[in-house]
Amino acid sequence: MEDKGEVKCIKFSFGNKILAVQRTPKAVDFINFIPDLPQTEYSQECKTKNANILSFCWISTNEIVFITDQGVEFYQVLPDKRTLKLLKNQSINVNWCMYSPETAVLLLSTTVHGNVLQPFYFRSGTMSKMPKFEIELPASPKSGNLCLSDIIMATIYGQLYVLYLKHQPRTPNNPGAEVILYYLPRDGQCKKLHILKLNTTGKFALNVVDNLVVVHHQSSQTSMIFDIKLRAEFDGAVTIHHQVLPSLSIHPCKIPRAGYLWCLQIKLQPIVHMLQDKGRLMDFLLQRKDCKMVILSVCCQMLSTAERGSLPVIATIFDKLNQVYKEYLEAEQNYALAMESGTSRSSSTQKRPVRTQAVIDQSDMYTHVLSVFTEKKQGLPHKFVSAVLMEYIRSLNQYQITVQHYLYELVIKTLVQHSLFYMLHQFLQYHVLSDSKPLACLLLSLESTYPPAHQLSLDMLKRLSTANDEIVEVLLSKHQVLGALRFVRSVGSHDNISARKFLDAARQTGDTMLFYTTFKFFEQRNQRLRGSSHFTPGEHCEEHVSHFKTLFGEQALLTPMAV
C-alpha cells in the first residue's frame, strides 16, 4: 500500500475481497482484491457536513456502514465502478458504537451521559431502527458517563444480550459491582433479565465463552464464571446469579513477546471435582460445547463410588440426560415429517436439528458407562447393580424412548450371572422388560442355566403374535414336534406350514410313533385340502414317504388317523 499517512483503522470485507482503510476523520479509502479488477484506491467521504467518522463496519461482502458523531451512513460498495452508493442515512448524536457481526446489530450510545442506546439491524440491503433503551447509571457521582469499556454485546444461548458492567462501591447493603444483562430481541422492547453479582470492586473485563459469562478481576488476577441457564434466585423481575465456581486464575502460559490476541477456552474436566452437587454439575455440563466424554466420565465415576442411598441422585442424572435425548429425537422426527410432506415452505424454513454433544444416547451409555459398570467387581450389592440398570430403563420409558434390546440383554445377563432368577422372573412376568424377538432368543439360550427360561421365551413369543415362525423353530429344535403342530393349529396357520420341515424333525428324534403321527397329520391335511392324501412333488417328501412304507408298509398309507 502507498504511504498516505497514519492508518487509524483497517478492515477487510467478508471474503477478503475489498480492503477499507481509514486515515482521516472524514473519509475511508478502498482497495479491490478481486481478480481482473485494478487495485487502484478509491475513496468515500462521509455525507454529513462537519461530521467525523468514529468507526466503520462491513455488513456483507459489498455493504459497509460509516458511524459518525452525527449519525449512520449505510453504503453499497461497487468495486467494478470504484465507487459507493448511499443506501440510507440516519441522523443521530453518537458518542461511541459497537457492532455484532453474528447478529448484524449495530449499537450506538447517545445523549450526554451516553446511557441511551440505539440499536440498528441490517438485513439484505436494509437498515432498520430497533427500539432504543436506557441503561441505569449508578448513583455514584464518580461514574457520570457510560463508557464503551462498560458494555459488550454477546450472543448467549442463541439470544443477543447487551452486558453492562455496573461499578458501585461496596457497602453493607451493596455487595459491589455487578453485570446487568439486557435482552435485545429483534422485535420488541429491550428487557433487563439477569444480574450477575461480582461481590467485589475494581477493574474488570468481560468475555463470553461457550455461553458462559466470564468476568476477569484485575487486582486479584482471577476470573469468575456465570451461567444464566442454571437455577438462580428470581425476584419477580430479574434473575440474580452468583458465580458457578470459586474465582480461578487463567491457566498460566508463557509467550515470547507481547502483542497477542487471546482465545479463551473452558476446561471442563477440573470442574467435575469442584461442583459437588451432581445435578447442578450435569445441568452445567449439558450446556457446554465439548461435553460428551466429560458427562460419560462423570456417570462412570458416580456409579463406581455409588452407595445404596445414591440411587435417587443417579435417577435424576439419567432423567436430565434423557430429557435432552428425547428433545433431539422429537426434533429429528419433526424434521423427517416436514421433509416427507414435501411442501416448499416447510422445507425452506425447517432446518435439520444439530446433534450436539449433550445428546447422550443409549449406545453411548451402554458402551461407556453401563457395560463397564456391570463388568467391574466393585463389591456393590448385585441388587443395587440391577437397580441402576432398571433406573436407566425406567427413565427411557418415562420419556417414551424405545429401549434398545441390548440394554435388556445387559439386565438379563447381570441377573443370571448373579443367580437372581426370581427377579428375572418378576421382570418378565410384570413386563418390566418389554417383549421382543431378540430378548426371547436370549432367554432360550439361558435354558441350560435356568430351565424355566424356555417357557418364558415361548410365552413372550406368543405375546408378540408376530413371532409364530420363531416359536415353531424353537419347538422343533427341542424335538417338541407335536407341540409345534398344536401351536400352528391354534393360530390357524397349519394349512400353510412345510410338511417336510416337520417330518424332518420327527424323523430326527428316532421315535417311530412320533414320525407316524406327524405323517398322518399331513396326510389328513392333504386329503382335506386337495381330496387326496398324497404329497405333491413340490413338497419334496418322497424320502419320508419311502421311510414310512419301510416302517409301516404300503397299506398304512391309506389308513387315516387324527392327531
Query: Strands 151-156 and 233-234: what pairing?
Result: unpaired
Confidence of residue 144 (pLDDT cuts 50, 70, 90): low
Banded model confidence at residue 349, pLDDT cuts 50, 70, 90: low
Q: What is the pTM of this model?
A: 0.79
Which residues have C-beta within 8 Å of that of residue 116, sequence separation ≥ 6? 109, 110, 132, 133, 134, 135
Q: Report the alpha-carbon distance of residue 190 to residue 186 in Å, rounded.
A: 9
On the question of pLDDT at 143 being above 80, the answer is no
The residue-averaged pLDDT of 513-523 equals 91
Residue 17 pLDDT class (50, 70, 90 cuts):
very high
C-alpha cell of residue 165 = 458492567
For residues 126 and 134, is the Cβ–Cβ distance under 8 A? no
Helix ranges, 68-199 (H): none
Averaged over 339-355, what is the pLDDT? 71
pLDDT of residue 19: 96
Handedness of CA 312, 314, 320, 325 (dihedral sign): negative
pLDDT (0 to 100) of residue 344? 46
Choose the weakest-confidence range: 35-39, 274-278, 428-432, 529-533: 428-432
More confident residue, 322 or 560: 322
Region of poorest pLDDT, from 293-307, 387-401, 489-503, 523-537: 489-503
**pLDDT for residue 563 is more than 50:** no
Higher pLDDT, 106 or 469: 106
Mean pLDDT of the 132-147 span: 77
Q: What's the whole-number mean pLDDT along residues 7-34?
A: 95
Is residue 346 scored above 70 in pLDDT?
no
Strand partners, 516: none
Query: Among positive and negative, which fits the CA dihedral 450, 456, 460, 462?
Result: positive
* Fold assignment, 95-250: Lipocalin (2.40.128)
| DSSP H helices in 120-275 | none
C-alpha cell at 1: 500500500
Helical axes 311-341 vs 278-285, angle rounded to 10°: 20
209 bridge partner residues: 212
More confident residue, 466 or 391: 391
Question: Within a 10 A sphere around the Cβ of 170, how many other Cβ atoms?
Answer: 14
174 Cβ contact list (under 8 Å, min separation 6): 168
pLDDT band (50, 70, 90) for residue 242:
very high
Give tens-digit pLDDT for 294-338.
Answer: 999 999 998 987 766 689 999 999 999 999 999 999 999 999 888
Q: Residue 368 above 90 pLDDT?
A: yes
Residues of the chain above pLDDT 90, percent: 57
What are φ and ψ of residue 407, in 5° steps? -75, -40
In the three-class reduction of DSSP (H, G, I as helix; E, B as strand; rest coil), residue 86 is classed as strand
Distances (CA, A) of 285 to 201, 273, 281: 29, 13, 6
> pLDDT for 534-549, tens place per residue?
898 888 899 999 999 8
Please tell me the distance from the alpha carbon of residue 69 to that of residue 72, in angstroms, as a whole number: 9
Does residue 50 contact residue 37 with C-beta atoms inside 8 Å? no
Instruction: Give residue 355's pLDDT band: very low, low, confident or very high (50, 70, 90).
Output: very high
For residue 7, give the DSSP letter.
Answer: -
Domain boundaries, the chain: 1-94, 95-250, 479-563
Q: Is the pLDDT of residue 137 over 90?
A: no
For residues 204, 207, 210, 212, the Cα torsion angle rounded to the nearest 10 degrees is: 40
Provide the mean pLDDT of the chain: 88
Task: Provide the pairing of β-strand 233-234 with 239-241.
Answer: antiparallel
